[in-house]
């Protein structure tokens, strides 16, 4: 007997697992094996001082940062409003006046 759940679409008991997905061979429905909020709660983003960051926060850049393709550096003390946290090498997706859309690492910002 399998410990896999029945298909939520057709209630078939013949589901199988491929990687992180569960698949029903009868109706070809695919769904995630992980709980919906497990990925969100496992990652915590922190700024340079250890404060927890959230989507929509305002942060300040703590040092001058070189920006690829830009003629000047992003100056320390630049305020960035309404950040969006992403699960990538650069943790913060934002829009900065004078520079446009860019991504920052959380280790180079502090929460305001």
What is the arithmetic mean of pLDDT over 56-64? 95
19-45, pLDDT tens digit by residue? 889 999 999 999 987 655 554 557 899
Distance from C-alpha of 79 to C-alpha of 77, rounded to nearest angstrom: 6
User: Residue 80 and residue 87: Cα distance in Å, rounded?
Assistant: 19
Which residue in 81, 75, 109 sits closest to 95, CA to CA? 81
**37/78 Cα distance (integer angstroms):** 33
Residue 103 pLDDT > 90, yes or no?
yes
- Of 1-10, 56-65, 93-102, highest mean pLDDT: 56-65
Q: What is the pLDDT of residue 35?
A: 59
Q: pTM of the entire structure?
A: 0.62
Provide the pLDDT for residue 19: 83
What's the whole-number average pLDDT of the chain? 88
The stretch 76-103 carries a mean pLDDT of: 92
The Cα–Cα gap between 80 and 101 comes to: 11
């Amino acid at each position: 007997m399998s410990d896999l759940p029945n298909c939520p679409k057709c209630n078939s008991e013949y589901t199988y697992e491929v990687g992180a997905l569960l698949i029903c061979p009868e109706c070809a429905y695919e769904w995630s094996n992980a709980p919906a909020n497990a990925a969100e709660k496992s990652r915590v983003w922190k700024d340079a001082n250890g404060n927890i960051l959230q989507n929509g926060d305002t942060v300040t850049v703590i040092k001058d940062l070189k920006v690829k393709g830009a003629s000047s550096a992003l100056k320390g003390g630049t305020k960035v409003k309404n950040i969006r946290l992403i699960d990538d090498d650069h943790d913060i997706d934002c829009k900065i006046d004078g520079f446009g859309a860019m991504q920052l690492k959380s280790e180079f910002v502090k929460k305001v």
